[in-house]
A = this chain, B = another copy of it.
Amino acid sequence: MATSGVLRQLMYTAHGPPLSALAMRSGTIPTPGASEVLVKFLASPINPSDINQVEGVYPKSPSLPAVGGNEGLAEVVQVGRDCATDLKEGDRVIPRWSCLGTWTSHLASDAGNFIKLPGDVDPLQAATLSVNPCTAYRMLHDFCQLQPGDYVVQNGATSAVGQAAIQLAKVFGWKTINIVRKRPEDQAKGDAEMRAHLQELGADHIVYDDELMEPDTRALFKETRPRLALNCVGGKPLSTLCKVMPQHGTVVTYGGMSKKPIMLPTAALIFQDLHFHGFWMTRWNDTTDLAERQRMLDTLLDLIRSGQLATRVQTHALENWEEAITQATAPYKLDKHVLVF
């Protein structure tokens, strides 16, 4: 099949702040090599790690010049002549690895670099599935054996991972305490919207980060004794969270929004018996059997179909990438910002 149209992609030739480092590039749509498939992207989200890659502060990055983005949903438009694959034209795929560059209208790459997705799932939900919901899924399953009714606490609960964790915990029978930042007083209206949204997702408790040491919150932790804490903030807020954690808890870090290191008093480890791990979806994908990943994706796709898992999405035409980046990096947002092609 011949492909008409023009290749458009968001590229960077040097690391720096995304708005100045990135630029739109037009070109000719590539012809797939013999073992390659050519895909056309439908939707590609802007994740914090994508931003960090452009900034040059991420440990796994493509070599420069590079197309931005690591996640997205694409459609196969052409299959290479000698390509040993069951992919065919019209199939929907997501990248198997990071660093393929998804902020592009088209990509020709080895067939093995893609995972086939069923065609009956909302494209925006499929496009935002493989990073944030999968991160939430793994952190809830891989670090301690939660029992029905067990509590999980998380900071950064409004993040896309946080919202997915609320929904997944509910599906699997666990309850959540959700720590959020309080907005300045002049934005208090947003607070009400945020609370309503998290509650609709299934949040059992919502706590402002500056209220962690207050008697009500301490009583809540004492009563619910959360066994697992998900951390994307670090710094003092995490130190405070550790103070109210019960004995033997597990703390899994997947982000460091505060840009401050984690400070642990020795006693939190020895006497409180807290356990600290980190989670990185990229490493999990790079080191785990595809069949296990497929099982997780199938589970999550079923939850999307049944409406039990949904990412709140705001779309931007690729041409409006500057606005998309600006909104994706703004504080207090509830939406995942997605480029569409």
Contacts and interface: CB of A to CB of B under 8 A. Distances in A.
Contacts of A268: 278
Query: This chain: how many copies in the complex?
Result: 2
Contacts of A276: 264, 269, 275-277
A277 B269 contact: yes
A254 interface: yes
B263 A261 contact: yes
**Most chain B C-beta atoms within 10 Å of own C-beta, residue among A268, A276, A277:** A276
A10 to B, nearest CB: 25
A263 B263 CA distance: 5
A94 interface: no
Nearest to A280: B270
Contacts of A278: 266, 268-274
A253 B261 CA distance: 18
Nearest to A264: B262
Interface string A234-268: 10000000000000000001111000011111111
A283 interface: yes
Range class of the A interface residue count = 20 to 34
A59 interface: yes
12 contacts: A234-B266, A253-B266, A261-B265, A262-B264, A262-B265, A263-B263, A264-B276, A268-B278, A269-B276, A270-B278, A271-B278, A275-B277
B266 A256 contact: yes
Interface string A262-303: 111111111111111111100100000000000000000000
Nearest to A268: B278
Interface of A: 59, 234, 253-256, 261-280, 283
B277 A253 contact: no
Contact of A262 (B269, B272, B279): B269
Nearest to A266: B256
A337 to B, nearest CB: 23
Nearest to A259: B266
Contact of A59 (B234, B263, B271, B283): B271
A283 B268 CA distance: 14
Contacts of A261: 263-266
A76 B262 CA distance: 50
